[in-house]
Structure formats: structure tokens, C-alpha cells
Amino acid sequence: MAIKGRALTAEETQELNRLAHSRTAPHRLVQRAQMIWARGQGLKVPAIAAQVGLSALRVRAWPMPAARGARAAMARRSGAR
């Protein structure tokens, strides 16, 4: 099963890069940013799962942003506003 995604904007890429390497953001938010970043780079689910240290089922359970912005998708999933 493939994850459908869309191209990231320059702003989204910058924000994802910041979050993916953050040492102060909540761990789940960092993982989420890493998954979205990896998908944006064209990686498939098994490679993303190995990269972030989660199972492929867990990666598939986190829908990647399609029509909405990556930041909104991460905030919605993490409970942040």
C-alpha cells in the first residue's frame, strides 16, 4: 500500500527540517516531521519505518499531508495548535 503525498512548499520544507532535527520539540512531533520529510524525498513506507524506528504499520497509520499543509497536519496529529 503506497502513501499518497504531494510536493512540499519551501516553507514547509524549512519547517520540517527544523522540527526533524529538533532536540526540544516533543518526540512524536519530531518523528512526524521525519516521516513527512522522508516521504517528500520519495522514500517508501519500509524505508521510512526503518529511518524513524517505527513499524511499517505505524507509519501507514499516520496519514501524510495531501491537501492540507504539513504544519497543520503535524499540529493536528500532535494535539498542538
Q: What is the pLDDT of residues 3-44, one digit of tens each?
A: 555 677 888 888 888 988 899 999 988 998 899 888 878 889
Q: What is the pLDDT of residues 38-59, one digit of tens each?
A: 887 888 999 999 999 999 999 9
The DSSP-derived string for 25-52 is: S-HHHHHHHHHHHHHHTT--HHHHHHHH
Residue 31: how many other CB atoms lie within 10 Å:
21
The CA distance from 20 to 32, in Å, is 8
Residue ranges covered by each domain of the chain: 10-78
Residue 30: how many other CB atoms lie within 10 Å:
19
| DSSP annotation of 63 | P
Q: Three-class SS of residue 42?
A: coil
